């Protein structure tokens, strides 16, 4: 892509899917435990990105409700691309995100990543790259025209400072001051 071409930047937030064409289009998002699927049809020159977080647990009846959110955004992206002339059998996918950003909580990032990989496998969509897991958030930039993706890791939040030491208690006879 020439440096003289102005870029159209579309930012995708959680719960969105966007698609388009043209060598000037760049899709961007910020991810932690969420996952972004970047899909394109290299022949039609069209591509897009979604950004999802599976809500809730993944046990029993909650699993179908939870996965329906990711399923909805994957289908929304696929149908948007098909309407722009893409063909399902030519899709290439890159997956990003799924980090474990908070210690001590369930690893929702791993569940998101697992869902996305399984979806691609079940749908017969060629998974050509990306980066899943880890412990850091990331910014993703994706050029659907070429399939180029750039990942920029975000600094982990600094740990909270230790609490201040307790103040010494002054004693003045029978009265204690705090």
- In the CATH hierarchy, which top-level class contains the domain 8-156? alpha beta
Kindly report, residue by residue over 82-124, the tens digit of the pLDDT: 999 999 999 999 999 999 988 777 899 999 999 999 999 999 9
Is pLDDT at 150 greater than 50 in this prediction?
yes
Q: What is the DSSP letter of 29?
A: E
Q: How far is Cα 127 from Cα 156, in angstroms, rounded to an integer?
A: 28
Q: Which of 53, 58, 174, 156 is nearest to 109 (CA)?
A: 53
- Average pLDDT over the chain reads 85
3-state SS class at 12: coil
For the segment 18-61, what is each residue's pLDDT rounded down to a tens digit?
A: 999 999 999 999 999 999 999 999 999 999 999 999 865 444 44
pLDDT (0 to 100) of residue 158: 45
Residue appearing with tokens 């910014």: 139
Residue 163 has pLDDT above 90, yes or no: no
Distance CA 9, CA 102 (A): 30
Q: For the chain, give the percent of residues with pLDDT over 90.
A: 70
Known active-site residue 34: yes
Bridge partners for 172 per DSSP: 175
User: Which tokens sit at 56?
Assistant: 């809730």
Element of type H or E holding 107: none
Catalytic entry in 12, 17, 27, 34? 34
Model pLDDT, residue 54: 86
**In the chain, where are the structural domains located?**
8-156
Which residues, in sequence order, are CB contacts of 167 under 8 Å at separation 6+?
178
Q: Which two tokens stand for residue 10?
A: 């579309």
Helix (H, G, I), strand (E, B) or coil at 87: coil
Count CB-CB contacts under 10 A for residue 95. Answer: 22
């Amino acid at each position: 892509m020439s440096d003289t071409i102005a870029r159209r930047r579309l930012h995708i937030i959680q719960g969105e899917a966007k698609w388009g064409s043209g060598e000037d289009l760049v899709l961007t998002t910020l991810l932690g435990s969420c996952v972004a699927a970047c899909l394109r049809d290299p022949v039609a020159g069209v591509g897009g990105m979604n950004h999802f977080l599976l809500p809730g647990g993944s046990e029993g009846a909650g699993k179908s409700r939870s996965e329906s959110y990711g399923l909805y955004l994957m289908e929304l992206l696929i149908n948007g691309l098909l309407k722009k002339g893409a063909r399902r059998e030519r899709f290439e996918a890159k997956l990003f995100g799924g980090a474990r950003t908070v210690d001590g909580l369930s690893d929702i990032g791993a569940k998101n990543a697992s869902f996305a990989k399984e979806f691609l496998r079940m749908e017969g969509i060629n998974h050509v790259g990306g980066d899943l897991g880890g412990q850091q958030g990331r910014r993703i930039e994706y050029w659907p025209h070429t399939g180029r993706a750039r990942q920029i890791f975000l600094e982990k939040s600094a740990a909270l400072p230790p609490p201040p030491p307790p103040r010494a208690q002054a004693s003045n006879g029978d009265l204690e001051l705090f």
